[in-house]
């Protein structure tokens, strides 16, 4: 029997069988298929976990549950909500056809062991198999991996991971946070009810880990790490510093002190607005950066006196060169050369 296969998402494998009847359920603990010259092997494969849709087999590797969920918008069967959503929202699909399965509207599930359609429940009414060790009747959610300590939050209206005893629901932020942040976090109304400012994925029901910045804005943890790799240390939403920058500011103090301005600009004054404390200051103009007189931060932007500029962008460049990389190294060399000129006895 000939088979053709294509990968429709990182979780799903679609295998089309060139026969009129469906093949028997797989019982092997390993699945190996040659696809486009590559071998994909899934070890410890759960027996009889594949369900058939016409001549197509949909296999969910990562989300190993024993159910197929009925799509609330049609009569078509689908396997696993996350796989469906990822496939239907991929770049290969016309944006007009992008959609998610409305989890709360799912009315029926189909046991992939005995193919019995039934109301959403944890145990099959026909064969008695447990469809998921964790089951939420509200979210229509099944999961065999209970090590994630799933729990349902009534205020959020969805299931979350991490253990109910370890989280609290902030009514103003309208989301769950770790109890470590209960007394110290800065509230932002609807903090997670928006897209990640870096990757634009909706944060409220994301399955990726989220962190809360000191300013209160939320973002994917891996997106923050990617920002740091590109030397971006300010919030993409409000431009406030996302970490302690005091050591950076001290280095900038040294650079500015050793970089005198030309006579033309020595008396030039400008107004700046601090992105960190939001205080305006009237300071001497400098090519490198402007220091806030209130909190000593260089995360500022010029608002009056010269063509508007943002020091935060220059700070980004300088941060990328810290540890005396190219930019700061050049400034230090320039300052040293000026100092040498001023102390040269021949002049």
Q: What is the pTM of this model?
A: 0.59
So where are the chain's domains? 3-114, 151-229, 246-343
Residue 80's nearest CA partner among 104, 48, 55, 51 is 51
Strand duo 30-35 + 12-17: pairing: unpaired
> Which residue has 């971006």 as its token pair?
232
3-state secondary structure of 59: strand
Supply φ then ψ for residue 121, to 5 degrees: -160, 165
Tell me the pLDDT of the chain (347 aa) as tens digits: 333 333 333 333 333 333 333 333 333 333 332 222 222 222 333 332 333 232 223 333 333 334 445 544 444 444 556 666 776 667 776 776 666 777 777 778 888 788 888 888 889 999 898 888 899 998 888 888 889 899 999 999 989 988 999 999 999 999 998 898 888 888 888 889 999 999 999 999 888 888 999 998 999 999 999 999 998 999 999 999 999 999 999 999 999 999 888 888 888 999 999 999 999 999 999 989 999 999 999 999 998 765 454 555 455 544 443 433 344 444 445 555 555 555 555 54
CB-CB contact of 135 with 151 (8 Å): no
| Fold annotation for 246-343 | Rubrerythrin, domain 2 (2.20.28)
């Amino acid at each position: 029997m000939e088979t053709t296969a294509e990968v429709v998402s990182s979780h799903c494998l679609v295998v089309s069988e060139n026969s009129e009847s469906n093949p028997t359920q797989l019982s092997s603990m390993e699945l190996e298929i040659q696809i486009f010259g590559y071998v994909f092997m899934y070890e410890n494969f759960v027996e009889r976990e594949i369900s058939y849709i016409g001549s197509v087999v949909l296999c969910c590797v990562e989300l190993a549950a024993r159910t197929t969920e009925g799509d609330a918008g049609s009569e078509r069967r689908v396997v696993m909500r996350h796989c469906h959503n990822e496939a239907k929202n991929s770049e290969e699909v016309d944006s007009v056809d992008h959609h998610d399965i409305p989890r709360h509207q799912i009315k029926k599930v189909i046991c992939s062991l005995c193919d019995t359609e039934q109301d959403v429940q944890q145990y099959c009414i026909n064969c008695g198999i447990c469809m998921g060790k964790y089951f939420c009747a509200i979210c229509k959610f099944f999961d065999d991996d209970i090590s994630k300590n799933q729990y349902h939050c009534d205020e959020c209206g969805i299931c979350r991971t991490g253990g109910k005893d370890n989280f609290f629901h902030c009514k103003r932020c309208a989301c769950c946070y770790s109890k470590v942040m209960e007394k110290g976090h800065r509230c932002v109304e609807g903090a997670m009810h928006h897209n990640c400012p870096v990757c634009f994925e909706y944060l409220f029901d994301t399955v990726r880990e989220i962190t809360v910045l000191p300013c209160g804005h939320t973002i994917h943890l891996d997106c923050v790490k990617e920002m740091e790799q590109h030397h971006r240390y300010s919030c993409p939403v409000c431009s406030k510093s996302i970490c302690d920058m005091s050591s950076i500011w001290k280095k900038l103090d040294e650079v500015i002190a050793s970089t005198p301005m030309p006579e033309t600009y020595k008396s030039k004054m400008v107004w700046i607005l601090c992105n960190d404390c939001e205080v305006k200051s009237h300071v001497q103009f400098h090519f490198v950066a402007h220091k806030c007189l209130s909190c000593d931060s260089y995360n500022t932007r010029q608002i009056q006196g010269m063509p508007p500029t943002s020091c935060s962008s220059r700070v980004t460049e300088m941060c990328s060169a810290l540890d005396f990389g190219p930019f700061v190294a050049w400034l230090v060399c320039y300052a040293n050369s000026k100092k040498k000129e001023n102390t040269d006895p021949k002049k």
